[in-house]
C-alpha cells in the first residue's frame, strides 16, 4: 500500500498550475520554473543519499509500473 507523499502532492499541484489553459504564459512559466528548480535540486541531492536494501528492486518495480501505464495510455 502506498503512503501519501506531501512533496509529490505539492509537485502535482504546481504541475496543474503550470499547465492551466486558463492562465497566461507569464503565470504558467513561473510554475514551470518551480518544477525545473525542483528537478535540478533532486538531480543534485539524490546521488548524495545512501543506498538501501531493497532499493534497486523498488526502483525496478516502479519503472515497470510506469511502463505499463505508458502502454495503457497509448
Tell me the pTM.
0.81
pLDDT at position 74 is 86
Specify if 64 maps to a domain: yes
> Do the beta carbons of residue 36 and residue 14 sit within 8 Å?
no
Spatial CA neighbour of 74 closest among 54, 35, 66: 66
Domain hosting 51: range is 6-72
Specify if 34 maps to a domain: yes
Q: Which helix (H) or strand (E) holds 60?
A: helix 55-72
Specify if 1 maps to a domain: no
Chain segment 4-56, per-residue pLDDT in tens:
999 999 999 999 999 999 999 999 999 999 999 999 999 999 999 999 999 99
What is d(CA 28, CA 9) in angstroms, rounded to the nearest whole number?
18
Specify if 35 maps to a domain: yes
pLDDT at position 1 is 44
Phi, psi of 24 (to 5 degrees): -80, 165
How many structural domains is the chain composed of?
1
Specify if 50 maps to a domain: yes
Specify if 52 maps to a domain: yes
Specify if 12 maps to a domain: yes
Amino acid at each position: 500500500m502506498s503512503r501519501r507523499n506531501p512533496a509529490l502532492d505539492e509537485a502535482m499541484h504546481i504541475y496543474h498550475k503550470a499547465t492551466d489553459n486558463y492562465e497566461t504564459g507569464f503565470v504558467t512559466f513561473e510554475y514551470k520554473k518551480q518544477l525545473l528548480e525542483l528537478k535540478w535540486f533532486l538531480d543534485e541531492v539524490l546521488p548524495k543519499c545512501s543506498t538501501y536494501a531493497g532499493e534497486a528492486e523498488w526502483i525496478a518495480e516502479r519503472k515497470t509500473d510506469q511502463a505499463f501505464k505508458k502502454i495503457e495510455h497509448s
